């Protein structure tokens, strides 16, 4: 497999056709990662949720990271990672309407954010929060099948070949039960 850098346009195209990503936020030095449905438009990811840990944490620290990917096989994939800033759309009616319009183009867009949630035996209130992530930095990488099956890469680095042989030998040893 070869790993290649994607152009900015390829990264934007992936975000435009993808609807699920992983949102990373942090509060008091503790990271938190959760799935997030989104719609991309003009340098922003638009989303919505109910009040909960991610909204509370992003209000306290609006700096976030989002990862979105496509996986065709272990040797054919693409991923985009972006750094950005959480912007709540509570008092911005036109932005809420824009987010709603973008999100409703996706099937059951509202379900993950508006599902009944019971935490510690109590039902969480279903107060809707529209938000967007302003994209400040973005990079993408793509894994593609190597026509030479990777042999050329390992031939250049004997240490890697020895390491790979040890790993494969270790797996075979344990696989055979001995």
Residues 8 and 76 in one domain: yes
Q: What is the mean pLDDT of residues 111-131?
A: 67
pLDDT at 151: 45
The predicted-structure confidence for 43-61, as pLDDT tens digits, reads as follows: 999 998 888 899 999 999 9
The predicted-structure confidence for 13-24, as pLDDT tens digits, reads as follows: 999 999 999 999
Length of the chain, in residues: 178
Q: What is the CATH number of the domain that holds 49?
A: 2.30.110.10
Band of pLDDT at residue 107, cut at 50, 70 and 90? low
- How far, in Å, are 37, 44, 47, 111, 134 from residue 114 at the CA level? 12, 21, 12, 5, 23
Residues 110 and 170 in one domain: no
pLDDT at 101: 77
Residue with the bigger pLDDT between 64 and 125: it is 64
Residues 8 and 55 in one domain: yes
Residues 152 and 135 in one domain: no
- Checking if the pLDDT of 176 tops 70, the result is no
- Count of domains for the chain: 2
pLDDT at 152: 43
* Cα distance between residue 113 and residue 10, in whole Å: 28
Q: Between vectors from CA 91 to CA 25 and to CA 19, what angle results, nearest 5°?
A: 45
| Burial class of residue 46, CB neighbours in 10 A (0-12, 13-18, 19+) | buried
Residues 158 and 96 in one domain: no
Q: What is the DSSP letter of 23?
A: E
Q: What is the CA radius of gyration of the chain?
A: 21
Q: Which residue has the tokens 């949720």?
A: 49
- How far, in Å, are 73, 100, 102 from residue 94 at the CA level? 40, 10, 12
Residues 60 and 85 in one domain: yes
Residues 76 and 123 in one domain: yes
Residues 127 and 178 in one domain: no
- How far, in Å, are 1, 63, 170 from residue 137 at the CA level? 26, 12, 41
The predicted-structure confidence for 124-171, as pLDDT tens digits, reads as follows: 666 778 899 999 999 999 999 877 755 444 445 555 666 556 666 655
Give every CB contact of residue 175 below 8 A, 6+ residues apart in sequence.
none
- Checking if the pLDDT of 65 tops 70, the result is yes
Residues 157 and 122 in one domain: no
Residues 137 and 169 in one domain: no
In which domain, by residue range, is 110 found? Answer: 2-145
pLDDT at 52: 85
Residues 55 and 133 in one domain: yes
- Checking if the pLDDT of 26 tops 90, the result is yes
Task: Extract the tokens encoding 82.
Answer: 């972006």
Residues 175 and 114 in one domain: no
């Amino acid at each position: 497999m070869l790993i290649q850098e994607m152009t900015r346009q390829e990264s934007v195209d992936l975000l435009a056709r993808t609807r699920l990503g992983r949102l990373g936020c942090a509060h008091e030095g503790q990271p938190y990662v959760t799935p997030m449905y989104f719609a991309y438009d003009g340098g922003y990811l638009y989303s919505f949720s109910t009040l909960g840990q991610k909204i509370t944490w992003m209000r306290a620290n609006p700096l976030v990271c989002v990862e979105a990917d496509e996986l065709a096989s272990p040797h054919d994939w693409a991923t985009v990672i972006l750094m950005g800033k959480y912007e709540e759309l509570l008092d911005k009616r036109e932005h809420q309407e824009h987010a709603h319009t973008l999100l409703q183009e996706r099937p059951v867009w509202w379900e993950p954010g508006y599902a009944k949630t019971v935490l510690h035996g109590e039902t969480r209130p279903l107060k809707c929060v529209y938000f967007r992530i302003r994209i400040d930095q973005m990079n993408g990488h793509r894994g593609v099948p190597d026509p030479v099956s990777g042999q050329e890469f390992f031939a250049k680095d004997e240490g890697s070949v020895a390491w790979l042989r040890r790993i494969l030998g270790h797996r075979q040893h344990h696989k055979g039960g001995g």
